[in-house]
Amino acid sequence: MSSNEPGATWHARNGAVDIAYQDLGGAGGDPLLLVMGLGVSRFWWPEGLIDELISRGFHVAAFDQRDAGESTHLPDTGPGSPIVSVLRGRSAAYTAEDMTDDAVAVLDALGWDSAHLFGASMGGQLAQRIALRHPGRVRSITSASSLPGDISGLRASRYVHLGQVARFARMKFPEGRDGDIALGLALARAVASPGYPFDEAAARARIERDAVSGVRDTRAQSRQAGAKWHGGSLAQLRVPALVLHGDADQVLRPAAARRTAAAIDGARLVILPGVGHDLPAAVWPRVADEVRAVADRAEASRSPAGPPGAIRPGS
């Protein structure tokens, strides 16, 4: 069980990098770590979705990746365009392995020897990579609206709506806090699910919680997007996996999810009708049910005692 006070911001350490994280509640449940996507912080996770996950028996925590939110931001290096970084598939600042180690530092700080992972967008790709690099620390993964974790560069570009991403990059708003909020809201609206109403008030509330906005920091986004993966392939992944994707995703084609699910033995693929590059409130119950189901598969495969030192519900 985590000794960290729920709701407070804490920091884990990975070398010279501090990683901000938060215990979101549900102590005594199965540990579930949320991994957010490119450039934005843990506050972009909808509170209603977190509540759904807690109600299904999860102890939930979330963190800010390096170069996002309240975690360490690295010195400026490389191109100022995330698209260029994706196509080049390299970053001088750090590797994708470094990013997986950040997540493990958070698990250590929480006192979790292992956990289920739920990643969105680039966070889904990172969740896959954490499971490959640190298999003993991961019980199951849910990858939502993401690329396959074992590709980068030009191989990744076939799954990206490059024109739409370029349009996002051309959005211009005044500098300062008000401009950051307006830009974040515009981006949230642009990736919102076309099959469901856009809840502007809820989106604004999440964005306003983000004290360190990363929506216009393209250099930080470029360092994240360009972090090169040197690890294994998805065919080597041996934990239960759930792959979620909206059929109306404005950023990544559903083919990315199909490729991910096909590469992971036994993975469950769920294509969500009318869903864009987000998870609208109407699908939260189903998403939480699916995450619970893949976690149950993982828990069923564990011995009653679990691996040495493993955290069990209620421990």
Among 131, 125, 124, 119, smallest CA distance to 149 is for 125
Question: Is residue 32 within a helix (H) or strand (E), and if so which, with residue range?
Answer: strand 30-35
Residues in Cβ contact with 49 at an 8 Å cutoff, skipping those fewer than 6 apart: 279, 284, 287, 288
Going by C-alpha positions, the residue among 245, 226, 236, 255 that lies closest to residue 128 is: 236
CATH number (3.30.830.10, 1.20.120.1770, 3.40.50.1820, 3.30.465.10) of 9-301 reads: 3.40.50.1820
Tokens at 16, concatenated: 């010279």
Q: What is the pLDDT of residue 2?
A: 47
Q: How far apart are CA 67 and CA 75, in angstroms?
A: 9
Q: Is the dihedral of CA 29, 11, 89, 246 positive or negative?
A: positive
Instruction: Give the integer Cα–Cα distance in Å for 107 and 66.
Output: 15
Q: What are phi and psi of 230, to 5 degrees?
A: -110, 5
Contact in structure between 259 and 148 (CB atoms under 8 Å)? yes
List, run by run, the mean pLDDT of 10-residue segments along the chain (315 residues).
72 97 98 96 97 98 97 76 55 88 98 98 98 98 98 88 87 92 95 97 94 86 91 96 98 98 98 98 98 97 52 35
pLDDT for 204: 96
Q: What are phi and psi of 220, to 5 degrees?
A: -65, -45
3-state secondary structure of 138: strand
Which tokens hold the place of 194?
Answer: 């076309």
pLDDT at 306: 45
Residue 83: predicted pLDDT: 58
The answer to whether the CB of 287 falls within 8 A of the CB of 295 is no
Boundaries of every domain in the chain: 9-301
